[in-house]
Structure formats: structure tokens, C-alpha cells
């Protein structure tokens, strides 16, 4: 990758890492499904404006509209709602670490459910190491062994974040239906689809939240700033960066952002939310990132490349 690609990758990791602290601030006052709807609706509006400015058309065929709805369900509506709901009870840093299991679930779904990929040895090793990290993260909440004394985050909230990662994995497998569709159109379409799906749930939860209902007027400026940032910067603008990185550096290099998001999210949460990672969270993150590196495969190929370079010189 060029130095510009590396800068884009770093910027994207910071933006997507900031998603979790912004969400933590917002869910303190905004119901999770309502927040998910506001995020996708704002982002959809921004991307549709970009499409119009760039002269790109938006397909309105029944087949494409159905695909947008399903992709919006799997890639936005379900995972955003689950993560935001989980973040009502767990720190932003922990949510970002659990979300990093997405590539592991993606490989499992693609290979075992849809037979789109082959489970090679290094991928199996990466999956095992990654899930060992997840087990370490969740051990305190299970009240099991010496880690129980560390009073882990609620198990249900962590399970919601893992459910979001699984939904992302199914979305990645389904995304092949958009082959040949401009990525900007696909992004705007799925965000539009998820907005339509979330609207009735967002209204219901806004009226029923905590038995008293949610009041937009009573919501503070910090929460509203977080909502705006989630929709514009962390979703719409982040998609624009990601698509440029995809076109310039390829999907494999763009996927490196997965390794960086937990680090940037934890750093931002520590600086602005005073969050501190526990020992199980640090250990779990280290194992998970190691598993992702092994799953990616390039770190294993590095010694061979260095040896060939030495021989060539």
C-alpha cells in the first residue's frame, strides 16, 4: 500500500473506533433502536445526496429493492441495534473488542454455511485462538474460576455484541449479490432499507422506553452531537473512505482495519470516557488480535517472503 493508503486506513480505524464511545454517550439518553434508526437514516440521506451530486442513478427494480432490504437488515438494522443495546451495560472498549470477532464468524459462515470458502489450517488456528480470546473476555461474567472475582460485564450484553458480529458475517456472505453494483449505490441502498425496517421499531421503542417513553427535547446536547457524529462521520463519511481504500488497495488490505478498531476505540474511550481495560479484557483482546492476524495469513507468509528477498539479494 502507498503512504496515502496507510493514512486512510489509520483514519478509518479512528473513525470506526470512535463509533463505540459516541454510541456509549448516546445510549445513555437515546433508546438503542431509535439510535440505530437515526444513525442509518442520517447516513442514507448523506449518501443519496452524494449519489445525486455525482450523477449516479439509484436502481428501483423489485429485485434490487429486496436485496437492499435484506442487506440493510443483516448489515445495519440487526448489528447496530444489538451493539447499541449491549452498550447500555458494557463499556465502549469491550464492545469494540467483541465486534472484532466479525472476520472469524465470516470465515465460519462462508465455509460451513454457504461453502464459499475452504477452511485451511491457518484459518482454523486463527479461529481457535480468536475464540480463546472471546472465552477469556466472557469468563468473569460466567462467574467461573479465578477470573470471577474481576466482576465481568453482563453476559447478555456481551452476547448481543457477538450476535451483531454473526449478523455481519451473514451480510458478508450475502453481499455477493451486489456484484457489479457500484459500491456507493449498494451502501445507500442498504442504509435506506435498514431505515425503513427500523422506523416502526424505533417509534415503538421511543414511546415504550423504560415505561416512560423517550423525550427528544429532554435529550442533552452531548447525546445529540453523538447521534449526528454516528450518522455523518462514523457511517456516511467512513463508507466513503472505506470504498476509496477498497478501490486503491484492495479488500485484503482494507480488512486490516479490523485489527486497528479495538485499539483506537479503547484509546478514545480511555481518553474521553475514563474507561480502563481489565486484565481479562486486555488478555482477550491480545488473543483475539493474534487470532485475526493468523486468520489473515500474511503474518505467516512473512518469514518466507523475507527468506526469498534475502536469497534474491
CA distance 182 to 68: 13
Angle (CA) 297 298 299, round 5°: 95
Residues in the chain: 313
C-beta of residue 74 within 8 angstroms of C-beta of residue 264:
no
Predicted pLDDT of residue 76: 97
* Whole-number Å distance between alpha carbons of 213 and 245: 42
In angstroms, the CA 142 to CA 155 distance is 7
What pTM was computed for the model? Answer: 0.91
pLDDT of residue 223: 97
pLDDT at 164: 97
Separation of alpha carbons 267 and 311, rounded Å: 41
Tell me the CA end-to-end span of the chain in Å, nearest whole number.
Answer: 22
Give Dmax over CA atoms of the chain in angstroms. 72
**How far is residue 175's CA from residue 177's CA, in Å, rounded to a whole number?**
5
Using CA atoms, how far apart are residues 283 and 133, in angstroms rounded to an integer?
A: 7
Task: Give me the residues of the chain with pLDDT under 70, please.
Answer: 142-152, 300-307, 309-310, 312-313
In whole angstroms, what is the distance from residue 308 CA to residue 27 CA? 52
Q: What pLDDT is attached to residue 253?
A: 78
Amino acid at each position: 500500500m502507498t503512504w496515502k493508503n496507510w493514512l486512510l486506513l489509520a483514519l478509518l480505524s479512528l473513525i470506526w473506533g470512535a463509533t463505540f464511545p459516541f454510541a456509549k454517550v448516546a445510549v445513555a439518553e437515546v433508546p438503542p433502536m431509535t439510535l440505530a434508526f437515526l444513525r442509518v437514516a442520517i447516513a442514507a440521506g448523506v449518501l443519496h445526496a452524494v449519489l445525486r451530486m455525482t450523477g449516479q442513478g439509484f436502481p428501483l427494480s423489485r429485485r434490487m429493492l429486496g436485496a437492499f432490504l435484506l442487506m440493510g437488515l443483516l448489515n445495519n438494522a440487526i448489528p447496530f441495534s444489538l451493539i447499541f443495546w449491549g452498550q447500555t451495560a458494557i463499556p465502549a472498549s469491550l464492545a469494540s473488542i467483541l465486534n472484532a470477532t466479525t472476520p472469524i464468524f465470516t470465515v465460519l459462515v462462508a465455509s460451513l454455511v454457504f461453502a464459499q470458502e475452504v477452511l485451511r489450517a491457518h484459518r482454523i488456528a486463527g479461529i481457535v485462538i480468536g475464540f480463546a480470546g472471546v472465552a477469556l473476555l466472557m469468563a468473569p461474567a460466567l462467574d467461573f474460576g479465578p477470573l470471577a472475582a474481576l466482576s465481568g460485564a453482563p453476559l447478555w450484553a456481551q452476547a448481543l455484541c457477538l450476535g451483531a458480529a454473526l449478523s455481519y458475517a451473514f451480510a458478508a456472505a450475502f453481499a455477493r449479490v451486489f456484484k457489479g453494483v457500484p459500491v456507493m449505490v449498494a451502501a445507500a441502498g442498504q442504509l435506506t432499507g435498514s431505515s425503513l425496517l427500523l422506523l416502526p421499531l424505533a417509534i415503538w421503542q421511543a414511546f415504550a422506553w423504560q415505561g416512560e417513553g423517550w423525550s427528544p427535547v429532554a435529550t442533552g446536547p452531548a447525546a445529540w452531537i453523538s447521534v449526528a457524529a454516528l450518522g455523518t462521520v462514523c457511517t456516511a463519511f467512513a463508507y466513503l473512505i472505506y470504498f476509496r481504500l477498497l478501490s486503491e488497495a484492495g479488500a485484503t488490505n482494507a480488512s486490516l482495519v479490523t485489527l486497528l478498531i479495538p485499539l483506537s476505540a479503547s484509546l478514545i474511550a480511555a481518553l474521553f470516557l475514563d474507561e480502563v481495560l481489565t486484565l481479562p479484557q486486555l488478555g482477550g483482546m491480545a488473543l483475539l488480535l493474534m487470532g485475526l492476524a493468523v486468520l489473515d495469513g500474511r503474518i505467516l507468509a512473512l518469514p518466507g517472503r523475507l527468506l526469498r528477498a534475502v536469497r534474491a539479494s
